[in-house]
Amino acid sequence: MKYSSHLILCFAAASIAFGQADPTSRSWNQPVPPFRIAGNLYYVGAVEIASFLITTPKGHFVIDGGFVETAPQIERNIAQLGFKLADVKILLSSHAHFDHAGGLAELKLKTGAKLIASTRDAELLRSGGHGDFRFGDTLAFPPVEVDQVIGDGESIALGDQKLVAWLTPGHTKGNTTWTTKINDGSSSYDVVFAGSPTALDYQLIGKESYPGIAADFEKTFAVLKRLPCDIFLSDHGSFFSFEEKRKRLTRGETPNPFIDPAGYKRFVIEHEKEFRQKVEAQKKAAASPAPKPE
């Protein structure tokens, strides 16, 4: 999930049924044709809700399952690219919110793949979003069993392809940024799949939304700033100007518009600034409590 303005909509919609019943979510889930980003890395998600396929001769990775309603799109997209669902061996998650984890249960069922997630998000994936520190039980999704937990800086490999998990907590307690290297022709690229770094309407000072949330965000920005990045990707298309870059790539633009180290740096700086502004605003509000009526 991304915008605070979207919160109320989500509450209303997701408490009625799993998934994307409101217009904003539906607009985020519009299909786009799957395509190759670079080398063995493909886009298989919807227009705003991202999902990625990394193929290897030993089986494939899929990062994120979208909404419940995105899963069939992801399945079709994988097939359309000429790959077999049964060859997907590992499912990964950016974070356990209903717009990215909603489709994981179905994808797991259809592929037979192993789901790997961070310890703190594994809990939320298994509960289907129940007990979220901010949303309680209101943004539920189909629960999905996590087969293996992964720690900070640990990696998972299929053949020669290695993906590294970097814990970037705050947006969820176990929010994860994945990195890998993708070879394309004679070039090799550092790829970052940045987990959402947004603080939504969370309480970041005083009685924090969860104990340690502000320190978690501090850690997240320190980590994101450290990661080398050529190809910049994230869980929301708008974070990395997905539609614009997709159209430019489709037109055959070179160099590949997804190679965007400057865009990645901007993304991190802007989100850190937004986080600090939220902290400052909350400090100000706490220092000047509303006057008591006389």
171 labelled catalytic: yes
210 labelled catalytic: no
Active-site position among 43, 132, 171, 271 = 171
**Interface with Zn ion by CB under 5 A: which range of 67-75, 151-159, 177-185, 188-196?**
188-196
* Separation of alpha carbons 181 and 192, rounded Å: 9
95 labelled catalytic: yes
1 binds Zn ion (CB under 5 A): yes
**Interface with Zn ion by CB under 5 A: which range of 19-27, 79-87, 193-201, 237-245?**
193-201
Of residues 97 and 278, the one with the C-beta less far from Zn ion: 97
173 binds Zn ion (CB under 5 A): no
Phi and psi at residue 201, in whole multiples of 5°? -105, 30
Judged by CB under 5 A, how many residues of this single chain contact Zn ion? 3
Of residues 4 and 277, the one with the C-beta less far from Zn ion: 4
- Per the CB < 8 A criterion, the answer to whether 95 and 194 are in contact is no
Active-site position among 43, 189, 202, 264 = 202
Q: How far is the CB of 196 from Zn ion (least distance, A)?
A: 5
Active-site position among 22, 42, 43, 95 = 95
Token pair listed for 187: 């070039």
Of residues 118 and 196, the one with the C-beta less far from Zn ion: 196
**Interface with Zn ion by CB under 5 A: which range of 7-15, 36-44, 111-119, 196-204?**
196-204
Beta bridge partners of 246: none
97 binds Zn ion (CB under 5 A): yes
Q: How far is the CB of 171 from Zn ion (least distance, A)?
A: 6
42 labelled catalytic: no
Q: Which among 285, 275, 284 is positioned nearest to 198, based on CA atoms? A: 275
Of residues 97 and 173, the one with the C-beta less far from Zn ion: 97
Burial call 248-270: b when 16+ CB within 10 Å, e when fewer: ebeeeeeebbbbbeebbeebbee
Q: Whose structure tokens read 């705003």?
A: 48
> DSSP assignment of 123-146, as one string?
HHHHTTTTTBTTTBTTT-------
Active-site position among 43, 100, 189, 216 = 100
Q: How far is the CB of 39 from Zn ion (least distance, A)?
A: 28
Packing angle of the helix pair 213-226, 261-287 (nearest 10 deg): 160
Q: How far is the CB of 123 from Zn ion (least distance, A)?
A: 16
Residues 6+ apart with CB under 8 A from 233: 37, 50, 52, 191, 192, 193, 194, 240, 258
Of residues 50 and 191, the one with the C-beta less far from Zn ion: 50
What sign results for the dihedral spanned by CA atoms 71, 144, 211, 7?
positive
Catalytic residues: 95, 97, 99-100, 171, 202, 236
Query: Binding residues for Zn ion, per CB under 5 A?
Result: 1, 97, 196
